[in-house]
Chain A
């Protein structure tokens, strides 16, 4: 028990929490944007892989780090556009399209990596983002500017959704597309815009892994983080503030299990610790999300002129 208290008073633990949370915050905000507009985006897992790879490749080829982030965002946006064309333009099943995009984006990234680096035994590396030493805030000063970006995006997206006309349009399109169309708002455009913007965020979430958390691209490096984001949105009841909270909570448990593994008193097999954050997030979902008021038109394709 004292071990755990020691751990919690340790700054490096909290640094780890925030670092683990960063891609989750970005990804969750991305999913949230899509789902608020009524479109499930299961492409996130693959889009994160593609963002991680494309951003890293750009930097490896000599682009500045922020250019790498932009490339990741554009890559995400491109897959988002594909998802929008399938789910909005053609009104296909959002599940199938999303899973398809995950498989496509993942496979393309791995393929691209293999083609670019046919014969390497150790992955090539880049110089990642440096910590923001100049910040006088503990914990945050050990993070990179991508983490700051993620934290700033939470109130920005909150404001966008709740205080601007375009945010109202996004919410309305996710609640009742017929109503939005009847008020002269183009459902197709608003949904497409939300998917593209959300997918761009997912791409950035992926690039955090290669440009900040690590300095190289590995297979399986996204490792289910995308799916966690999909669950976190439900946990957050589709609210950006709660999404931040959920991401931090999950990251907390993840950091905790890493430390517990390392503590290594081997009372339990390490797989039990690995399982911990997932079990706890399922528990949290069960407790919190049952009463969530989900967007009423989520996963319902909208075809103009049909009733």
Chain B
């Protein structure tokens, strides 16, 4: 009997969620010691496939073989025992427990009368050493940086003796420098005989780390190729299925007067999500993009300008007057808000599209009279948004939660940018992670709309942890770290490297 060259084989995996076919007859093999990149847009089925492999989901059809043995379905314990380790995109760590606790869980029989903690600590340090992933075993996970937490997440898998490691969008939360460090770690793991599946939708990093690429689209495996044989353009075509026009942006021509002046503002919220003496001036006809790793004060800044958080010191002037205290007044003046978390804050999922479309202006004379909502006007307005911003998914009467992420974002964009009759157009646009989690076409649409609004004279503030987005959109760029903001300098003054350094807190 000859040894199979594959450490892992997926055969004809299919999975549906209701009407959605998440995985459609996917067969995929992983060779020993290779890095296989699994590329695809959000919703292409990458995460579902890996969740099936790891036993979080049960496939409707298909089989999995690991090291020549069939893998029982829907059983994370069996997957771990077979040597599969998973590093989730959203870390599965308990913040209030120590690093050691997080790693140790599940590695001992539950009914042991005591934990062998000192032996475990030693083993953890050994593993950490072998793969070049330094950790402090007794630190509380809640006190670690995102990069350190990811290390713990990886160590959890290695500690359990993983031979196959699945990394789900590992760079989404890292600074460019942390990403580089991660890529080095991957190299060490492969050198020690591990096989890696690397999930991503970023073309450049896929080509940077992988030996082979498999592309998923709408639940189907559409292509496989050696990384050395393909280009980014080819991968993009496979991933999207058609060419995408990147947003066209000319340099801003007529920068007008100051719309919003933030002077020396500090806020008082927890730890890193606190602004410390932030100053920034936003002018009409210009996009200012703020780069930075999430959690460094971006939310505080966005909330400040959206009227949901107060400054404890410093001042914010909007069109020459102090920032009004309520979101309602802000909207009335012409502040357009695109919040970070569209599901939690952006829309109310159970309400129909048209009610969400008027929700920001509920008490305006256009949409209400006395105690009544002017339903006809409101629905007409919602229909305009649906039409102009191409919101697909059933029109103005369906519950908003049934829209896809991209269409939900288009609805929010339309609500913010398309002023109802008799109301001023948006003067200031606050877009926080406007294209987070959207597919390439939706990203292009959203970015194009923001550029159009700028050309129409609005001041635009884009806050994003996606460096590409910052580079594409920003006329001026500033970087946020630990609640502090660098000067906003023209984008031509920045390079990817200098932004990366500033994101990590280095002084320019």
Select from chain B the residue with minimum beta-carbon distance to A181: B76
**Residue B312 at the A interface, CB < 8 A?**
no
Interface pair B57/A305, CB less than 8 Å apart: yes
B80 touches A166 (CB 8 A): no
The reply to whether B94 and A179 contact each other, CB–CB distance below 8 Å, is: yes
Interface centre among B94, B96, B102, B156 (most CB of A within 10 A): B94
Please state if A172 and B97 are interface contacts (CB–CB under 8 Å).
Answer: yes
Contact B56 A305 (CB under 8 A): yes
A-B contacts besides A165-B105, A296-B94, 5 pairs, CB < 8 Å: A165-B104, A171-B94, A175-B95, A179-B94, A185-B110
Q: Roughly how many angstroms separate A94 CA and B433 CA in the complex, as a whole number?
A: 35
User: Is B111 in contact with A175, judged by CB distance below 8 angstroms?
Assistant: no
Which residues in B have their C-beta under 8 angstroms from that of A165?
104-105, 108-112, 115
Chain A residues, Cβ within 8 Å of B86:
182
Q: Answer whether residue B508 sits at the interface, using C-beta atoms and an 8 A cutoff.
A: no
Interface size bracket, A side:
20 to 34
In the complex, whether B16 has a CB less than 8 A from a CB of chain A is no
Write out the residue numbers on chain A whose beta carbons fall within 8 Å of the beta carbon of B108.
Answer: 165
A-facing residues in B87-122 (Cβ within 8 Å): 88, 90, 92-97, 101-102, 104-115, 117
Q: Quick one: which of A166, A179, A181, A185 contacts B102, CB cutoff 8 A?
A: A179
- Please indicate the chain B residues that have their CB under 8 angstroms from the CB of A163 in the complex: 114-115, 117
A230 to B115, CA, bound (A): 29
Decide if B496 is an interface residue (CB 8 Å cutoff): no
Q: Which residues from 149 to 170 on chain B have a C-beta closer than 8 Å to any C-beta of chain A? A: 156, 160
Name A's B-contacting residues (CB within 8 A): 163-166, 168-169, 171-172, 175-176, 178-185, 293, 295-296, 304-305, 307
Q: Which residues of B contact A172 (CB under 8 A)?
A: 94, 97, 101-102, 105
Least CB distance from B60 to A in Å reads 13
Instruction: Return B345 CB to nearest CB of chain A, in Å.
Output: 19
Q: Is the CB of A179 within 8 A of B93?
A: yes
Taking a contact as CB atoms under 8 Å apart, the answer to whether A179 and B113 are in contact is: no
CB of B95 within 8 A of CB of A185, answer no
Q: Which residue in chain B gives the minimum CB-CB distance to A297? A: B94
A164: chain B residues at CB < 8 Å are 112-115
B window 109-156: CB within 8 A of A: 109-115, 117, 156
- Contact A182/B92 with A164-B114, A165-B108, A169-B106 known, Cβ cut-off 8 Å: yes
Taking a contact as CB atoms closer than 8 A, the residue among B56, B77, B92, B112 that contacts A176 in the complex is B92
Q: How far is the CB of A169 from chain B (nearest CB, A)?
A: 6
Contact A185 B96 (CB under 8 A): no
**B101: contacting residue among A168, A296, A304, A305, CB under 8 A:** A168
A296 to chain B, nearest CB (A): 6
Q: Which residues of A contact B94 (CB under 8 A)?
A: 171-172, 175-176, 179, 296
Separation of A186 and B80 alpha carbons in the complex (Å): 13
The CA-CA distance from A72 to B24 in the complex, in Å, is 54
Q: Are B93 and A183 in contact (CB under 8 A)?
A: no
Q: In whole angstroms, how far apart are the Cα atoms of A172 and B100 in the complex?
A: 12
Q: Would you give the shortest CB distance from B373 to chain A, in whole angstroms?
A: 31
**Is the CB–CB distance between B76 and A296 below 8 Å?**
no
Q: How far is the CB of A129 from chain B (nearest CB, A)?
A: 30
Q: For residue A293, which residues in chain B have a CB less than 8 angstroms away from its CB?
A: 96
> Chain A: which residue is nearest B156 at the CB level?
A183
Q: How far is the CB of A162 from chain B (nearest CB, A)?
A: 9
- A168 contact set on B, CB distance < 8 A: 97, 101, 104-105, 115
Task: Name the CB-closest residue of B to A160.
Answer: B113
The 3 closest A-B pairs by CB, nearest first: A183-B106, A175-B94, A184-B77
| Residue contact A178 to B104, C-beta cutoff 8 Å | no
Distance of A115 from chain B, by nearest CB (Å) = 41
Complex CA distance for A165 and B95, rounded to whole angstroms: 18
Say how far A36's CB is from chain B's closest CB, in angstroms. Answer: 11
A181 contacts across to B, CB distance below 8 A: 56, 76
Q: A residues within 8 A CB of B51?
A: 305
| 11 A-B pairs (CB sep. < 8 Å) | A164-B112, A164-B115, A168-B97, A171-B101, A175-B95, A178-B88, A179-B93, A182-B88, A184-B81, A296-B95, A296-B96
Q: How far is the CB of A289 from chain B (nearest CB, A)?
A: 15
Chain B residues, CB < 8 A from A176: 92-95
**Chain A residues near B90 (CB, 8 Å)?**
307
Chain B residues near A166 (CB, 8 Å)? 110-112
Task: Tell whether, in the assembled complex, residue A185 and residue B57 are in contact, meaning their CB atoms are under 8 Å apart.
Answer: no
What per-residue 1/0 map shows which CB atoms of B68-89 lie under 8 Å from chain A? Answer: 0000000011001100001010
**Distance, CA A80 to CA B81, complexed state (A):** 32
Which residue of the partner chain B has the closest CB to A306?
B56
Q: How far is the CB of B343 from chain A (nearest CB, A)?
A: 12
Residue of B whose beta carbon sits closest to that of A193: B110
A169:B105 contact, CB within 8 angstroms: yes
- What distance in Å separates the Cβ of B150 from its nearest Cβ neighbour in chain A? 14
- B423-478 with Cβ < 8 A to chain A: none
User: Complex formed: what's the CA distance from A168 to B110 in Å?
Assistant: 9
- Residue from A178, A179, A293 whose CB has the most chain B CB atoms within 10 Å: A179
When distances are taken between beta carbons in the complex, the residues of chain A under 8 Å from B92 are 176, 178-179, 182
Contact mask for chain B residues 39-51; partner A; CB cutoff 8 A; 1 contact, 0 none: 0000000000001
Residue among A176, A304, A305 with the highest chain B CB neighbour number at 10 A: A176
Contacts of A307 in B (CB 8 A): 90
Which residues 203-232 of B have a CB within 8 angstroms of A?
A: none
Residues of A within 8 A of B113 (CB): 164
**B114 to chain A: which residues have CB within 8 Å?**
163-164
Q: CB within 8 A of B110: which of A169, A171, A179, A296?
A: A169
Which residues of chain B have C-beta atoms less than 8 A from A169's C-beta? 105-106, 110
Max chain A Cβ within 10 angstroms of own Cβ: one of B81, B97, B110: B110
A169 to B107, CA, bound (A): 11
Question: Within the complex, which residue of B80, B93, B97, B112 is in contact with A184, where a contact is CB–CB below 8 Å?
Answer: B80
